[in-house]
Structure formats: C-alpha cells, structure tokens
Structure 1
Amino acid sequence: MADKPIKAIKGFDHDLQCRGFQFAVGETYKHEGTVEACVGGFHAIPEDVHPLAVFSFYPPAGSRFCVVEVNGKTDRESDKIAAEILTVQREIGLGELAQEAVDWVMARASLEGPVAVKDNGLATASGDQGAATASGYQGAATASGYRGAATASGYQGAATASGYQGAATASGYRGAATASGDQGAATASGYLGQVQGKEGNALFAVERETWDGPILSVACGIVGKDGIKADTWYHAKGGKLVEVAQ
C-alpha cells in the first residue's frame, strides 16, 4: 500500500489506450482484482526510475505519454510499478519527456564536468562555445551557452542545445535531440532517434532497420521550410523527415 501518491510516467497507444483499456486525461481509475506487476493493476514507470524507461514498453513513434499519479495497493518489479488507483494528470510530448529525463539525471547524478561517462551521468556546458558529452547509459547532455554542443551517445540518452547556434546530437538507441536556440542543429543517428527544433534550426536524422543494422536512409531539413514545423518531433523514413505520430 502506497503511503502517499507516487508520480509516474505512463505510455499508451495512439488512442490513449493500454492493453485495450481506455484512459482519459484528468480521470481517476480503480483496478478491481489482483494488483501484481506484470499480472494485474495499472502499470507505469515510477518517479525513481529513469523516465525514458517507458520506451521499453511504448516506443516513441506512435505512442502517447502522460504524467500520472498512482496510489492504493502497489507492487514493484524492476523498472515498473503496478497500482490499484491511477490518475491521469496531463499528457506530455516527447520534448517534455526528454526534459523529464534531463531533470531526473540532474537530480540524482554527480556532475562529471563537461564529459559524463557514468551511467545516468549528467554533462552540462553553459559557457561560450562549450561542449557537453554524455556517453553513459541513459545519460543527459545539455548545452546552453553561445554555440554550445551537446552530445548523448549512450542508450536512451537525451541531448539539448538551447544556446545561439547550438548543436544537439543523439546517437544512442532511442536518443532524443532538441535544438531550441537560434540557428541551432539537432541530429539523431541512433535507432528510433527523434529530432526537433525551433524556427530556422537544422534537423538531420538517420533511419535504421534495427538498432545495430545498416543505415537505410538519411533525411534533413530546416524548420519552417518545406512543411517542417517547429517544436515537432521527426524521424527519418524513406529519405524524408516524417512527423512522429502522437
């Protein structure tokens, strides 16, 4: 039994369903029956687990994600929790989910300086032309300085560049790269990688058949041109930047 509500991240299909059960934002649900992880109850990724662990159950493309609160009877197994009561608080996009990952790492990891190699390590660069690199499992790299560079090459890494002409690169499996500064660039070369940026930013993505398979195609574009929208996630498909279904 949870002593108090637990914040969590939950994945859904494109209709906001999970295993055929229909959910709605703002609603609270109670499970009748056994509450046991992988057996019964409402399942989610609890706040003490890296948020991008949700991708193990719902991939970035075609899925939807929400911040939820679980309560009542609970049962834990590895990186997920089963609960008797679940409240769907709000829906979040992949951009906010990536930020949740950065915040999660920042709250728990020891800052390793401009280079992070440990699991869940955090690397930050805020100075002019600074560089931040995270290569550990589920690491996070953020560059906020003028012409800063952020690179995340670890599994489920998150790279964010918010400075003027900043560059964000995610090369790990299911990495997320975001460029929000003027004339920034976001690149995703890993399997199931996603890119997004502000108006005028450059996007580059690579399509692979499997996580370790050959490159099938590459795609690039400029946000604001040829129908590419700002603050929207894209991946490479057939040589084009294709909007990720939400």
Structure 2
Amino acid sequence: MTVKGWKGFDNDLKCRGMQYEVGKTFEEPEAKACSKGLHFCENPLDVFGYYDPANSRFAEVEADGELDRDGDDSKVAATRLHIKAEIGLPGLIKAGVDYIKSRVDWDNAKESNTGDRSAATNTGDQSAATNTGDQSAATNTGDQSAATNTGYRSAATNTGDQSAATNTGYRSAATNTGYRSAATNTGDQSAATNTGDQSAATNTGYQSAATNTGYRSAAAVSGKDSVAIATGYDSKAKGSLGCAIVVLERGEWDGDTYPLLAIKAAMVDGEIIKADTFYKLQNGEFVEAE
C-alpha cells in the first residue's frame, strides 16, 4: 500500500546527510521510526518539528514497503520513498490546512463561517478555523492548527507552535506567534507577520508586507512593490525585482536581549541586491544568506 506524505530537507535537498533528488525513488533495508529508514510525515505541519520553515525545502512524497510509525506525531519510517514533487513553503502550508480541514467534523463544528463579517475561533490543538466571507476573522490558539481566510479584508491568526495562518483575500492579515510557524498571504496589500522563532512570513500579493521578528526567521515577498522585513536575531529577507528588504543585525544574547547593532534597507535592483535571494546583515553590510 502506498502512503502519501510530506518531507523536509536542508537547502541542498539533504536529510540526515543523505542526498535526495526530485523524481527519484530511494530505498533502505530496514524501517524503524527515529533511527532507521527513510522518514516523512503524514501531517504536513509535523514537518516543521524537524525542519524549520525559514531555512528548509519541502516535498510531497510517496512511501511503500515496510513502514514504522512514531507514536509522538505523524512521522513514519519507510524502506522505500519516492520524492514526487518539490512544493515549497506555500505548498506545504496549503497541504497542512487541507489535512486539518479533512479531519474536522464540519457538521458539528462551529468553527467554520462562510458569511460576511463572521468569526471562526479555535482553541484546541490540531484544529481548523476557516472563513470564506468578507471582513471575517479566523483564529487558532492550539498547536499544529490552521487558520484560513479567503475573504476580502480578513484576518487569520495563530498563536500555537508549528501552525499555519493563511490568507488569500485582498487587504488581509495572516499572523503567527508560535515557534516554527508560517504566515502566508497571496492577496494584494496584505500583511504576513511572524513573531515566533524559526518561522516564515511570505507574501505574494502586490504592495504587501512580510515581517518576522523571531530568532533565525525569514521574510519573503514576491508581489510588486512589496517589502520584506526581518528584525530577529540571525534572520533574513528576500524579495523579487522592484521590491524592498529591511534587515536588522543583532549581537549575541547579553542575558536580557539580542542587542541591536545595525539596520539597513535596500531596493531589490537585481545588481547590488539580487532578486529572490536571501540577505542578512554582517558588520552592517548586506551579505547573501543560505
């Protein structure tokens, strides 16, 4: 039986020192969760527990052969694993939202709204709050949860760790405060904000803002005339041609905070600042980041 799943890698498409390649199938003689075999997760959001969204690559996979599951989360070890397609962070977030929504009892749940100016709220772990109406709010406080909005001027908010807040509506806001979480916006003039460590804020809409204040996080924008802002320790920002990036440089922990050393802003001109390339500050100057 083939099992569908999701897998994280480092920036070289390696996992635990093993080199992977999209479109290829890999095999190991034995499967034992956490120790032997080829590992993946059945819940896309569980991947964030092993690979942070700010510094990783993600793929959809298919497994068969011998399988061994971990009792702590949805991690599975397999003897045979096919790397079907690289999907990126937005793809993994969408898969995570779909995964959670598929497990919600929508007939009895009150956390779904389709009307205008409505509110959907969840406080439980691994839950989904969904809104499709205009001027609505979807809120989640539980870990590994998903808050989704598709309406105009809506807000999707998550405070739990390893969660996803997603907005596709114009002038919307996706906010995450949890560790290793992801906030994504595709609507124009929208905002994606993350305060948790090792998180990712992503915007593809025009004139939007992606902001990260967490430790070792990433802010990325691809929409026209948008801004990516990274203010956390050892964080990075990138944008498409014509966008702007703002990056802070912070010193080592002094027992109270990471002291601010420098701040710098620049237009992504394709020459001094390359398009779609992460930058951080080092000695007050922009340098390319992994």
TM-score range, shorter chain: 0.7 to 0.9
What is the CA distance between 1:127 and its match in structure 2?
1.9
Aligned residues: 232
What residue in structure 2 maps to residue 36 of structure 1? 32
- SS in structure 2 opposite 1:103? helix
1:164 aligns with 2:170: yes
What is the CA distance between 1:243 and its match in structure 2?
8.9
> In the TM superposition, what are the counterparts of 1:204-223 in structure 2 within 5 Å?
204-208=211-215, 216=233
What is the CA distance between 1:237 and its match in structure 2?
7.1
Cα distance in structure 2, aligned partners of 1:184 and 1:22: 37
- SS in structure 1 opposite 2:213? strand
1:159-200 CA distance string (max 9 Å, x none) = 111111111111111121111112111111111221111221
Higher RCO (C-alpha 8 Å, min separation 6): 1
TM-score by length of 2: 0.70
Cα distance in structure 2, aligned partners of 1:240 and 1:129: 41
What residue in structure 2 maps to residue 202 of structure 1? 209
Q: Percent identity of the aligned residues? A: 41
Which residue type is aligned with residue 73 of structure 1? Answer: E
What residue in structure 1 maps to residue 181 of structure 2? 175
What residue in structure 2 maps to residue 5 of structure 1? 2
Q: 1:69 aligns with which of 40, 44, 62?
A: 62
What is the CA distance between 1:17 and its match in structure 2?
1.8
What residue in structure 2 maps to residue 95 of structure 1? 90
C-alpha spacing 1:8/1:218, structure 2 compared with 1 (3 Å): closer
What is the CA distance between 1:242 and its match in structure 2?
9.7
Cα distance in structure 1, aligned partners of 2:146 and 2:54: 21
Q: Which consecutive residues of structure 1, in runs of 5 or more, have no partner in the other structure?
A: none
C-alpha spacing 1:228/1:104, structure 2 compared with 1 (3 Å): farther
What is the CA distance between 1:220 and its match in structure 2?
9.1
Q: Is the 8 A contact 2:239 2:268 kept in 1?
A: no
Cα distance in structure 1, aligned partners of 2:140 and 2:280: 23
Which residue type is aligned with residue 87 of structure 1? Answer: H
Q: 1:116 aligns with which of 122, 127, 133?
A: 122
Larger Rg: 2
- SS in structure 1 opposite 2:39? strand
Q: Is the 8 A contact 1:220 1:240 kept in 2?
A: no
Cα distance in structure 2, aligned partners of 1:170 and 1:19: 28
C-alpha spacing 1:23/1:148, structure 2 compared with 1 (3 Å): same
Q: Is the 8 A contact 1:192 1:235 kept in 2?
A: no
What residue in structure 2 maps to residue 85 of structure 1? 80
What is the CA distance between 1:62 and its match in structure 2?
2.8
Deviates more, 1:236-245 or 1:51-60: 236-245
What residue in structure 1 maps to residue 53 of structure 2? 60
Cα distance in structure 2, aligned partners of 1:21 and 1:220: 28
TM-score by length of 1: 0.82
Q: Which consecutive residues of structure 2, in runs of 5 or more, have no partner in the other structure?
A: 113-119, 218-231, 245-266, 271-275
What is the CA distance between 1:16 and its match in structure 2?
1.4
Q: Is the 8 A contact 2:162 2:182 kept in 1?
A: yes
C-alpha spacing 1:86/1:95, structure 2 compared with 1 (3 Å): same
Which residue type is aligned with residue 28 of structure 2? Answer: H
C-alpha spacing 1:146/1:38, structure 2 compared with 1 (3 Å): closer
Cα distance in structure 1, aligned partners of 2:269 and 2:150: 24
Q: 1:227 aligns with which of 249, 268, 279?
A: 268
What is the CA distance between 1:58 and its match in structure 2?
2.0
Q: CA RMSD in A?
A: 3.2
Cα distance in structure 2, aligned partners of 1:66 and 1:53: 13
Q: Is the 8 A contact 1:206 1:236 kept in 2?
A: no
